[in-house]
Amino acid sequence: MNRRTFLRMMIASGVIFSVPVTGLSAITSAGAAHAFHDVSVILTGRQQLDPAISLRLYGLLSRQNPLFPQRLTQLAERLRHSAPLSSDARLAALSDEEVETALAIITPWYLGYTGHPATTRATDDAHFVSFLSALMYEPTADVTPRPSYSQRGSDYWQAVPEGVSAPPMPATIQAWGKASPRAASQIAEPQPAWLAMVEGRARTYAEALRLDGLAGGVS
Partner 1 sequence: MSQYDADVVIIGSGALGANAAYQLAKAGKSVIMLEAGPYIPRWKVVDNYRNSASKRNWCAPYPNLPWAPNSYSEGYVEAQGDKDFDYVTSFLKVAGGSTRHWASACWRLLPNDFKLKSVYGVGRDWPIAYEDLEPWYLRAEREIGVVGTAEEDQSGQRRDAWPPRSAPYPLPPEAKPYMVQRVQARLGPLGYQVIHEPHARVSRPYDGRPACAGNNNCEPVCPVGAMYSGDMHVDKAVALGVDLRTESVAWKLEKGAKNHIVAVHYRKPDGSNVRLSAKAFVVAAHGLETPKLLLMSDVANSSDQVGRNLMDHTGLSMTFLADEPLWTGRGSVQHGSIATRRDEPSRAQHSAIRYSLRNLVPNIDVTPALLKQGLMGRELDAAIRDRASRIMNISTMSETLPSPTNRVVPHPTRRDAAGLPTLQVNYQLDSYVRGMRPQAYRDFANFLMAFNGEIVEAPTGWRNQYHIMGTTIMGDDPRNSVVDAHCRSWDHPNLFLATTGVMPTSATVNPTLTGIALALRLADTLIQEL
Q: Which of residues 124-153 bind partner 1 (CB under 8 A)?
A: 124, 126-129, 131, 135-140, 143-150, 152-153
Q: Which residue, 23 or 112, has its beta carbon nearer to partner 1?
A: 112
3-state DSSP assignment of residue 127: strand
Q: Which residue, 29 or 153, has its beta carbon nearer to partner 1?
A: 153
C-alpha 73/C-alpha 188 separation (Å) is 62
Q: Which residues contact 5 (CB under 8 A, 6 or more apart)?
A: none
In this chain, which of 66, 178, 212, 213 binds partner 1, going by CB under 8 A? 178
Q: Does 167 bind partner 1 (CB under 8 A)?
A: yes
Residues 179-218 that bind partner 1 (CB under 8 A): 180-191, 194-195, 197-200, 202-205
Min separation Cβ 82 and partner 1, Å: 17
Task: Select from 22-30, 32-40, 64-72, 114-122 the region that touches partner 1 (CB under 8 A).
Answer: 114-122
Of 1, 44, 56, which Cα lies nearest the Cα of 19? 44
Q: Binding residues for partner 1, how many (CB under 8 A)?
A: 94
C-alpha 48/C-alpha 117 separation (Å) is 27
C-beta atoms surrounding 95 within 10 Å = 13
Q: Which residue, 89 or 175, has its beta carbon nearer to partner 1?
A: 175
Of 23, 10, 77, which Cα lies nearest the Cα of 51? 23
Q: Does 52 bind partner 1 (CB under 8 A)?
A: no
Q: Does 55 bind partner 1 (CB under 8 A)?
A: no
Of 64, 69, 33, 67, which Cα lies nearest the Cα of 51? 33
